[in-house]
Amino acid sequence: MELINLGYRVCIAAAFLKDASEGDEDDDDDKNDEEQKEFGRFLPPEQSESRPGLIALSNSLAALASKRKQRRLRSNEPADNLAELVEEDDIFEWVEQVAPMFGAILPTFLHCIFFPNKRAPPTRTSFDYPRISQESQVFPSSTSPMLFSFGCMSPALGGEFYRLYTSASDGLSFNRLMNALLGYGGPTLLIIQSGKSTFGAFTASPWKESKDFYGNHDCFLYRLLPGPTAVYRPSGNSERFMYLNSFARSRGFDRQAHGIGFGGSTEQPRLFLSESFDSCRAGSDDLAFEKGPILAGRIDGGVTSAADEMFEIDNLEVWGIGGTDVVKESLKARKASRDVRQAYINKARKVDKAAFLDDLRSGMIENKAFAHLDQVQGRDGTCELLGEQK
């Protein structure tokens, strides 16, 4: 636990130093005074070592160390006894599997101290502490340990987080969720809270509506809480990574699952949010991602049933990630996509109105609006009514 807590505090310190050095480059005194007031947001919460996010991350390291020792010693001794001492090789394997960015914390901190006004060399990936500027039910503060946990999982989860959707403000609406995702050109982080569990998925591929799976290997499923934290990366056995299929696309004739899914099949994705948000599912096994439980209560490795894999959504948030530049470009792409869709809608409305008017005039639709035209004959200012005596 001491190692994880130390990494968290060093990471906060590096973020503070980076922000301070960027503020020094600005000559605007008023802005500097304003930024000085903002430095308080880098203070870690009191008793941060007791926060569930850090405990879950620490438990993941202890669990991996226990499994390695059991494999090596072929021992039946309880895992708790074997995890009393974490070795160097345990940390290396844990960093590779769960927290690839944890090893970048100290080099980032040292760079901020000795080279405060210089960018890191392109050959080295820095730890960029995730930043949020919008309200969140998941992250209670800008220094939330859960942000630290996400930042450790992938370099794409560093920098600015932009909230695309939240059930707390937008409601549990699949149409609003689709509207937030479709056209957005950057990586996204899906966060689900159900009971004691916090879990979800990350994908670097843009979302689109399709009856088939799509995406690339830059994605994973995860369990953040309760501990131990777990990250299920692509297994290499399948490319069924992400899936978005609404009922309106096929009117239900495709006989496939309608909603958002990851892994599994089009009939039963491994992680699935249905269009109605009922009967949502989080399985522990599929070909696309590594095996492991996503929901709380299945961490003990017991036999799972279909009922154990179902969950109800208490809170759902989707964040655009990848850093400030990536988020800006992705939002521009979404706006352009929305403009194109709106242009098609407007064009369809005009075509429908013109066709409707033609049908009225042709008599295909019974209407008396143009009946007077059939009763009037003549031209050049003279007309004769049908049936009028000369």
**Tens-digit pLDDT profile for the chain (390 aa)?**
788 999 999 989 998 888 877 665 555 554 455 554 455 555 666 555 558 889 999 999 988 888 887 777 765 555 555 446 788 889 999 999 999 999 999 999 999 999 888 888 888 889 999 999 899 999 988 889 999 999 999 999 999 999 999 999 999 999 999 999 999 989 999 999 999 899 999 999 999 999 999 999 999 999 999 879 999 999 999 999 999 999 888 776 788 999 999 999 999 999 999 999 998 999 999 999 999 999 976 555 555 555 568 999 999 999 999 888 999 999 998 898 888 877 877 877 776 666 666 665 665 555 555 555 555 555 555 555 555 554
Quick one: 263 and 295 in the same domain? yes
pLDDT at position 302: 52
Quick one: 148 and 203 in the same domain? no
> What is the domain range of residue 272?
159-347
Quick one: 246 and 168 in the same domain? yes
Quick one: 84 and 144 in the same domain? yes
Domain boundary among 113, 134, 157: 157
In a domain, 208, yes or no: yes
Quick one: 289 and 309 in the same domain? yes
The span from the CA of 64 to the CA of 337, in Å, is 44
In a domain, 354, yes or no: no
**How do beta strands 197-203 and 219-225 pair?**
antiparallel
Quick one: 105 and 221 in the same domain? no
The span from the CA of 120 to the CA of 190, in Å, is 29
In a domain, 372, yes or no: no
Quick one: 142 and 167 in the same domain? no
Quick one: 75 and 58 in the same domain? yes
Quick one: 338 and 218 in the same domain? yes
In a domain, 249, yes or no: yes
Domain boundary among 136, 157, 178: 157
**How do beta strands 131-132 and 160-166 pair?**
parallel
Domain boundary among 142, 157, 172: 157
pTM listed for this prediction: 0.81
Domain count, the chain: 2
In a domain, 169, yes or no: yes
In a domain, 366, yes or no: no
In a domain, 72, yes or no: yes
In a domain, 16, yes or no: yes
Write down the H helix ranges in 74-122.
79-82, 88-97, 105-114
Quick one: 148 and 223 in the same domain? no
Quick one: 197 and 59 in the same domain? no
Quick one: 243 and 204 in the same domain? yes
**Residues recorded for the chain:** 390
Q: Say if residues 121 and 115 touch (Cβ distance below 8 Å).
A: no
Of 89, 207, 202, nearest to 152 by C-alpha is 202
- Phi, psi for 165 (deg, rounded to 5): -155, 145
